[in-house]
Amino acid sequence: MTDLAEFRAGTRAWLEANCPPGARGPGLIPTGSTKVEITDRDTRVWLDRMIEKGWTAPDWPKEYGGGGLNKLEYSILAEEMKRIEARPALGGFGVMMIGPTILEFGTEQQKRTHIPRITRAEVAWCQGYSEPGAGSDLASLSTRAEDRGDHFVINGQKVWTSGAHLADWMFILVRTDPNAPKHQGISFLLLPMDQPGITVRPIRMINGEAPFNATFFDNAVAAKDDLIGELNKGWTVGKRLLQHERSGMGELMMGSTGGVVEERLVDEARSALGHDGGRIADPVWRSRVAAHEMNRHAYRLAQRRAVEESEGGTPGPVSSIFKLYGSELQQDFYDLTTRMRGTRGFSTDLQTATAEEREMTSLWLHYRAVTIYSGSNEIQRNIIAKRVLGLPD
C-alpha cells in the first residue's frame, strides 16, 4: 500500500503541474484524426504531455507507447484526474475499441505497426459493422472481401459509420466465404480510408448534425497483413471488440465529457429550480435528482467491480449490462436536465435561447439514439439472458 500511496502522491503532483486550465472540465477530446487540426493551445499541450507520459493509454504495454499501469494504478490515475476535472487527453475508437482488440488478437507486427500510432494520436479510426440489411442482426452482413493473394478487394456498403469523414483507418467486418453459415465465413480487416475505392456520404440527423455516414466500397483494398485473427473467424474478434466498447472501461477509468456534465446535475437543478441553503427547493424534483445520483453512483461502482474482477481488464458478456443500463441512465440525465427548465427546456430559437440551452436540446436529441447504436438494448437483453443469466433460448 505504501507503493500505491507514493504513486498517488506522484500522480497528483504531476497532474497539477502538467494539466493546463483549458484541459479541465468539458471540452474537446482529440481522436488523433489527421483531418482535424487542434487549435486550442491547452488541449494540444495536454495531449503532448500525456503522450510523453504514456497516459493516452495508461494500461497498455510500455513497449507500444502505453503507460504500463496495473488496474489499481489506473484507478488511482482516474481518481486524480477526476479530482481536478482533467479531460482524457485522447479519445475515440482507437483507444476505446480497436487498440485493445489488436493487443488481444493481433500479431506482434500488427501491434508494433498500429498501437504506437494510436497512443501518439497519429490516427483516427471508424467502425465498419452495420449495413442497410444488417444492423442488430449483424451476422447477416453482405459486404464482401475477395482474396487476391497479398490483398483483399472489398465491395459493399456500411451505414451509420460514426466519424468516417474524419477517420484515417477503418476496422471492418466482411464476408470472405459466402457459402459458410452466417456467423462463419466473416473476417475482420483493417483498411486505410484515403483511397479511391471508398466513398463517404454524411447522414444528417434530427439535431442538424452529421456525425454518421453511409460508406460505400467499390474495389477498396485491404492488405493481407491487416487481417486480424484467422480468415473466416472474424466474428469472434468482432464480438470481443464490442465488449471492449460496451464495458465502458475508458469512460469508467478516465472519465468523459458526459461524465463531467452529469456530475453537475445537482448544480443544474439548484440553478433551474432554486434552493434553500443548497437543498433543491422542489421536493418532487429533489427526489428525482437524488434517485438519478444514486443510480449513477451504483452504476460506476458496478463497472469498477466488473473491471477489477475481469481478466485482461475488460469484462465479457457482462459488458452488455453496462451498455443497457448506461444508455438508459444517459437518457434519464438529459430528460431531467431539459424538463426541469420548463418551457426553456427544449429551446432552439437563435433569438431567445442561450447557446447553452440550444446545446442541451441538441444533446437531448442526440441521446435518443443511444439505446440503439452499439447494439440495441433489445439485443443487450438477449445477451444478458443467454450469456450472463444462462437462460435457455
* From 131, 245, 262, 357, the catalytic residue: 245
Structure confidence at residue 115 (pLDDT) = 98
Q: Is residue 51 classed as helix, strand or coil in its secondary structure?
A: helix
pLDDT digits (tens, 9 = 90+) for 66-122: 999 998 898 899 889 989 999 999 999 999 999 999 999 999 999 999 999 999 999
Q: Please state, rounded to an integer, the average pLDDT across all residues of the chain.
A: 88
Active site residue 245: yes
In contact, 14 and 53? CB cutoff 8 Å: yes
> DSSP assignment, residue 87?
P
pLDDT digits (tens, 9 = 90+) for 127-163: 999 999 887 788 899 999 999 999 999 999 999 999 9
CA distances for 192 relative to 114, 232, 238, 296, 377, angstroms: 12, 21, 18, 38, 31
Rounded CA separation 243/267 (Å): 34
Rounded CA separation 246/258 (Å): 16
How many other C-beta atoms lie within 10 A of the C-beta of residue 76? 20
Rounded CA separation 188/105 (Å): 11
In contact, 197 and 134? CB cutoff 8 Å: no
In contact, 288 and 296? CB cutoff 8 Å: no
Q: What is the pTM of this model?
A: 0.80
* First-last CA distance in the chain: 46
